């Protein structure tokens, strides 16, 4: 890979404070970029990862190799370095923290032991001391980190990556813990994949022939799309009527879980698809698929393939993390109601959004009804469910996809209204649209 003068100086160890860690970071980016066939690096000032986060398992693993301090652990674990570095300097580039595995305010309810919680808090303190912004959400684009079109980023988290590329027109590959940590210290990331114009063109065409009226409709279409195109780029035509942040959020998260979609185009709506010709550019569609009432019905049945008993004991809302609009809607559905005694309702969001929900009184309405508002994590991420859960329900195709695999429960998928009704009655009554 060709390095410019600044990059070469970082690789050589430029004698500046923090040179050791930056040198390790550049070594990592060089190895990574060369393995990918990248010709060069690109500047980034927008990183979303898990820099500084760790677990007691990782701590104990590296302790056997003599790692004693947080900074040493960062160099071994986050930078994949063979040598421990004694001092990690603060972030050179704007970096935010994605979701974690623990909501500190509900650690006991999640079954997190005290020493694990203490270590988690110390990890978060270390991340903050490095200049990492503790957004702690899978939706940074809705919480103070909104990219602009063409901006080069280094993001982890599949649902955020697909939103970044598709809806905002910014550019990122699905990075990992180590590459985002290296980007944080250097402000560089390999220039390949979705950073390049030619890799952002459509490959498959999906003609949508049903109304797209709800978040649930967008979630199902996303699930169908990911299954159909796997890791390639779909171009969706025929979608009329308003989209919204929430609808795209659920579409992208579903497409990234049933397949590995990292970018999509909606003709007339997303920034690189002003027309079908622009979306495909020099590509010709590999296939042209239809998404009509039959496909929608089949998709609904596939997502709900893990639901059997209609006696529901856990409702999970907030995958991806709920927006304030969704919390507002949930609070209206729950106002004056009571969650069934055999059921639990947990709603996940970003801490910044919960703060608004607190101020608007939505948290109180939800908690008065017996629900719990949680932040920083989710059930799939933490593998934490209310004790004894056998049957869950959620309004997220992504969460329905992962929850049975991770936690061995049954899971139903439906609208937010279906889910809140199940929370109140303890019975699943959702139906295919």
Binding site for ligand F3S (CB under 6 A): 99, 138, 159, 253, 318-321, 348, 378, 380-381, 398-399
Give the nearer residue to ligand F3S in terms of CB position, either 46 or 159.
Answer: 159
Give the nearer residue to ligand F3S in terms of CB position, either 179 or 394.
Answer: 394
Min separation Cβ 399 and ligand F3S, Å: 6
Min separation Cβ 138 and ligand F3S, Å: 3
Integer Cα distance of 75 and 52 in angstroms: 10
Give the nearer residue to ligand F3S in terms of CB position, either 109 or 383.
Answer: 383
Min separation Cβ 120 and ligand F3S, Å: 16
Integer Cα distance of 61 and 65 in angstroms: 7
Neighbours of 32 (CB within 10 A): 20
Min separation Cβ 268 and ligand F3S, Å: 26
Closest CA to 98 of 141, 148, 43, 153: 141
Integer Cα distance of 401 and 380 in angstroms: 10
The interaxial angle of helices 416-425 and 324-334, nearest 10 deg, is 40
Give the nearer residue to ligand F3S in terms of CB position, either 170 or 253.
Answer: 253
Integer Cα distance of 417 and 274 in angstroms: 34
Closest CA to 183 of 140, 144, 147, 132: 132
Min separation Cβ 349 and ligand F3S, Å: 9
Closest CA to 132 of 164, 98, 105, 155: 98
Give the nearer residue to ligand F3S in terms of CB position, either 3 or 216.
Answer: 216
Strand-pair category, 95-97 with 47-49: parallel
Integer Cα distance of 273 and 290 in angstroms: 19
Integer Cα distance of 415 and 159 in angstroms: 19
Min separation Cβ 137 and ligand F3S, Å: 7
Give the nearer residue to ligand F3S in terms of CB position, either 140 or 190.
Answer: 140
């Amino acid at each position: 890979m060709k390095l410019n003068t600044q990059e070469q100086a970082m690789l050589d160890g430029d004698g500046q404070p923090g040179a050791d860690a930056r040198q390790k970071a550049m070594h990592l980016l060089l190895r990574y970029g060369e393995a990918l066939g990248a010709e060069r690096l690109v500047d980034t000032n927008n990183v979303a990862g898990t820099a500084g986060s760790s677990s007691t398992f990782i701590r104990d693993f590296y302790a056997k190799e003599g790692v004693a301090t947080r900074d040493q652990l960062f160099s071994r674990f986050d930078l994949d370095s063979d040598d421990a570095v004694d001092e990690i300097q603060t972030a050179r580039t704007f970096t935010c923290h994605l979701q974690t595995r623990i909501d500190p305010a509900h650690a006991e309810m999640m079954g997190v032991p005290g020493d694990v919680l203490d270590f988690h808090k110390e990890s978060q303190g270390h991340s903050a001391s490095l200049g990492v912004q503790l957004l702690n959400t899978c939706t940074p684009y809705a919480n103070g980190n909104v990219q602009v079109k063409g901006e080069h980023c280094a993001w982890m988290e599949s649902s955020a990556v697909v939103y970044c590329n598709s809806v905002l027109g910014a550019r990122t590959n699905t990075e990992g813990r180590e590459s985002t940590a290296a980007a944080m210290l250097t402000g560089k990331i390999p220039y390949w994949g979705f950073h390049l114009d030619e890799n952002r063109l459509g490959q498959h065409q999906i003609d949508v022939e049903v109304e797209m009226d709800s978040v649930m409709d967008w979630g199902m279409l996303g699930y169908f799309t990911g299954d159909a195109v796997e890791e390639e780029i779909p171009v969706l035509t025929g979608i009329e009527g308003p989209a919204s942040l929430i609808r795209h959020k659920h579409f992208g998260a579903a497409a990234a879980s049933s397949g590995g979609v990292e970018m999509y185009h909606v003709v007339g709506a997303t920034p690189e698809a002003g027309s079908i010709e622009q979306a495909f550019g020099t590509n010709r569609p590999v296939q042209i698929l239809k998404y009509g009432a039959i496909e929608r019905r089949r998709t609904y049945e596939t997502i709900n393939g893990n639901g059997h008993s209609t006696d529901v004991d856990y409702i999970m809302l907030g995958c991806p993390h709920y927006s304030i609009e969704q919390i507002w809607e949930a609070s209206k559905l729950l106002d004056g109601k009571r969650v069934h005694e055999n059921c639990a309702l947990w709603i996940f969001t970003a801490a910044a959004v919960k703060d608004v929900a607190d101020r608007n009184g939505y948290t109180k309405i939800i908690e008065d009804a017996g629900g719990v508002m949680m932040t920083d994590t989710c059930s799939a991420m933490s593998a934490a469910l209310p004790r004894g859960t056998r049957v869950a329900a959620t309004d997220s195709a992504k969460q329905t996809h992962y929850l049975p695999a991770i936690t061995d429960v049954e899971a139903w998928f439906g609208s937010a209204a279906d889910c809140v009704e199940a929370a109140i009655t303890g019975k699943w009554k959702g139906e295919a649209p």
